[in-house]
Structure 1
């Protein structure tokens, strides 16, 4: 049998884009209209962006709903020069799609994902599971492991959580998060808020709390996933803290406050 050298999945374009094919079945919808239905998407990483995006073969996209952009952005999307507005459901979403300026990806179309942009599609699915915020990175790992470590959390010297039954959540490139049983948290020291966030790896955190004690403590520093994705089911209903702004002691050892992509937003 003749052997052939393996073809690397992750490839680089002269423009500095990284990309690799995916075998996931991906669909994107605008309202009740399926705009994308692809079994051959590719994942694309732009320079200086830590998360991937999907690009789809043109044949898998409802290109009849796309129009040349009326006001294309400048200097965005790693030099993309072709942008499209999306017309569907009686609404126009500007700059909802674009083509990356790379020969390898010339036959593919990408869509905006990030929330709050007013562009892109409403719902995305990998196989039968809805996904949020951005595609999940196949090179990133998230593990939720029950533990017997002793974890204590303090704010301005006040102990707000103390447990010997945490779940440790290990996520590539982020500090360990300690998910504490609700009964081991002094929730009487916090006030529930209406804040909510979504994570492509964990689901929807629709329970947040802010510190009642005043001082230079940012809001929404405690959160919970009442119904997390199956892969991290162990964190269900537990509470976690932004280690960036609280003091965490694990088995008697005080942890340094980490600096993360969330740090800039955790300011009073």
Structure 2
């Protein structure tokens, strides 16, 4: 008997949703109130959305805290017409939850994970680990590997980094990111910003922008000062957006990729 499944567990609905049963114990809290406590979550991918969300059986949701939405955000999620406001200790959170129209997902309620429009919960946990931004995709892998490749980074013809001790971060569906020691970067050419982003695989990132004028995107350089354990080798190292700089690896200039981040890189 084969040790490997012959078919993927992901299933498709007529509405174009992809879904599969999850195996993690998932909890969601608003303040100190547990709104979701589920051992039977379902991961759902909406068309055109690169990251999944969770939907939960109604019996594992505090439905007594949900109210029919006063201003339903129709169209915000694939085919969804039923939205709920969440009321906890007198605080009303609009459009905190919704249901998908697919028969396969009948009896399930999905929640805003990352606080879009201030409509999400405050904290989410998979088992005992707090998770940020969105659920982790079980079909996505992230590896951080120390390397001896020679990496040179240029911005508008100026060399801003030169390193032979990078850590290469490989992440499914994204270009390789080159994390470099601070000593190998011309940090005098950059200034720190107050911009921060979160990643469920890596942690919270801090950013730098290029000094001076020119058509250089803001927040082009970032670092994870306290990365999650899975990518510990990148701690304190810095990486550039391949989409906006010129990177040469072992003497070969790489093409600038087009990714979901490309549109967000503004000058």
Sort the TM-score into its range (normalised by shorter chain): over 0.9
Q: In the alignment, which residue of structure 1 is the partner of 2:146?
A: 146
- Distance in 2 (CA, whole Å) between partners of 1:13 and 1:26 is 23
Within 5 Å, give how 1:203-222 maps onto structure 2. Answer: 203-205=203-205, 207-222=206-221
- Distance in 2 (CA, whole Å) between partners of 1:208 and 1:238 is 12
Contact residue 208 and residue 220 of structure 1 kept, 8 A:
yes
Q: Deviations over 1:85-128 (max 9, x none)?
A: 00013211111101111111111110012334210201111111
SS in 2 for 1:117: helix
Q: In the alignment, which residue of structure 1 is the partner of 2:128?
A: 128
Q: CA deviation at 1:212?
A: 0.7
Contact residue 247 and residue 254 of structure 1 kept, 8 A:
yes
Are 2:53 and 1:53 equivalent residues in the alignment?
Answer: yes
- Distance in 1 (CA, whole Å) between partners of 2:103 and 2:137 is 23
Contact residue 225 and residue 235 of structure 2 kept, 8 A:
yes
Q: CA deviation at 1:77?
A: 1.2
Contact residue 31 and residue 89 of structure 1 kept, 8 A:
no
Q: In the alignment, which residue of structure 1 is the partner of 2:41?
A: 41
Q: In the alignment, which residue of structure 2 is the partner of 1:89?
A: 89
Q: In the alignment, which residue of structure 2 is the partner of 1:111?
A: 111
- Distance in 1 (CA, whole Å) between partners of 2:225 and 2:121 is 26
Q: CA deviation at 1:76?
A: 2.7
The list of structure 1 runs, each at least 4 consecutive aligned residues, that deviate by more than 3 angstroms after superposition, is: 5-8
Give TM-score scaled by structure 2 length.
0.95
Q: CA deviation at 1:182?
A: 1.2
Within 5 Å, give how 1:249-264 maps onto structure 2. Answer: 249-264=248-263
Q: In the alignment, which residue of structure 1 is the partner of 2:235?
A: 236
Structure 1, unmatched stretches of 5+, are none
Count of matched residue positions in the alignment of Structure 1 and Structure 2: 264
- Distance in 1 (CA, whole Å) between partners of 2:29 and 2:193 is 30
Structure 2, unmatched stretches of 5+, are none
Q: CA deviation at 1:6?
A: 6.9
SS in 2 for 1:120: coil
Q: CA deviation at 1:238?
A: 0.2
Contact residue 36 and residue 62 of structure 1 kept, 8 A:
yes
Give TM-score scaled by structure 1 length.
0.95
Q: Deviations over 1:20-53 (max 9, x none)?
A: 0011011101111110011110100111111110
Name which of structure 1's ranges 163-172 and 88-97 shifts more when overlaid on structure 2: 88-97
Q: In the alignment, which residue of structure 1 is the partner of 2:170?
A: 170
